[in-house]
Amino acid sequence: MIDNYLLEELVTFAQTGTLAQTAAALNVTQPTVTRGMQKLEDDLGVRLFNRQPNRILLTTTGELAVAKAKTLLALNRELVTTVQNFDRSQQRLILSSTLPGPLLVARKIQAQFPTLQLDDQLLPTDQLSDQLTSRAATLVLSDQELLTNTVESRYLGIERLAVNLDQFMYHANQPTIQFKELRGLSFLVLQDIGIWRDIIQDQIPDAQFMYQAQRDAFTKITKYADFPYFSTNLSPLDPNAPTVSQDDNRVRIPISDDIAQMPIYGSYLKTERVRVAPVLEMMSQAWPQ
């Protein structure tokens, strides 16, 4: 059995090129690294280094050992992360999302589930399966329906996009609007809105988007300026979201394009079906029309 610290020293040496730099990177002394490299050669029964008077180089066998060591160390880190995530998932039901809107629905029902923990950091859409299989999340909300040997999804509802326009704009005198009718306008937009960001940028030609990272700043600007902004049927669940009121000059107009009607799914490992079922059922019931 090869100790992990020896593999770490070998990989670090390959990255830095010298024993001194290896020692500095690992915060140990150079003699410690020298003894470690000798021990690794003894344990493997092969020569990993060409030792010259003022230089030490990896042999071809040493280069192979580095490649294998990297793989073993990565697997070891994956093992630790997966086991720790699994233990955490047994104590808490961790819910993540690729969009902010579905998190609002989850927050609405959170008090009914003491073990439910919401992750406010939005997930990239390409990490859904990894989040579930690594146990970093128990339940993931997204616009993707995942159906594999180990993962399944349940439909929750539709998130419908709307635009809030100044009531004196000619666009505002209609029950619905299409993306193409919004071309050339300037919009105030929250920065972290998941895939909605790509959709509005792709679908509205020649538009300008003024992104705001802070919710408070976004709300204040919408209060004192008449820039158009987007909302969905889930936005009213956010107590800090701007609201169209009698004091506001804007009207909310649903966007009729099919791509503005986004189905949302809850995805989970099939082995977690019983645990997540009550949460999904209550979210489905609480979903705004």
- Is 166 in the same domain as 126? no
End-to-end CA distance of the chain: 60
- Is 99 in the same domain as 46? no
Domain that holds residue 206: 158-261
Q: Looking at residue 248, what is its pLDDT?
A: 67
Q: Looking at residue 205, what is its pLDDT?
A: 87
- Is 72 in the same domain as 114? no
| pLDDT tens-digit readout, 180-211 | 999 999 999 999 999 999 999 999 989 999 99
- Is 246 in the same domain as 210? yes
pTM equals: 0.69
How does the average pLDDT of the chain come out, rounded?
A: 90
Of the three residues 32, 66, 87, the one that is the final residue of a domain is: 87
- Is 251 in the same domain as 208? yes
Nearest-angstrom CA–CA distance, 183 and 195: 19
Contacts of 111 (CB under 8 A, 6+ apart): none
Q: Looking at residue 88, what is its pLDDT?
A: 62
Structural contact between residues 191 and 212, judged by C-beta atoms closer than 8 angstroms: yes
- Is 71 in the same domain as 131? no
Mark the ranges of the chain whose per-residue pLDDT is less than 70.
Answer: 85, 87-91, 243-248
Q: Looking at residue 245, what is its pLDDT?
A: 55
Nearest-angstrom CA–CA distance, 15 and 11: 6
Structural contact between residues 161 and 196, judged by C-beta atoms closer than 8 angstroms: yes
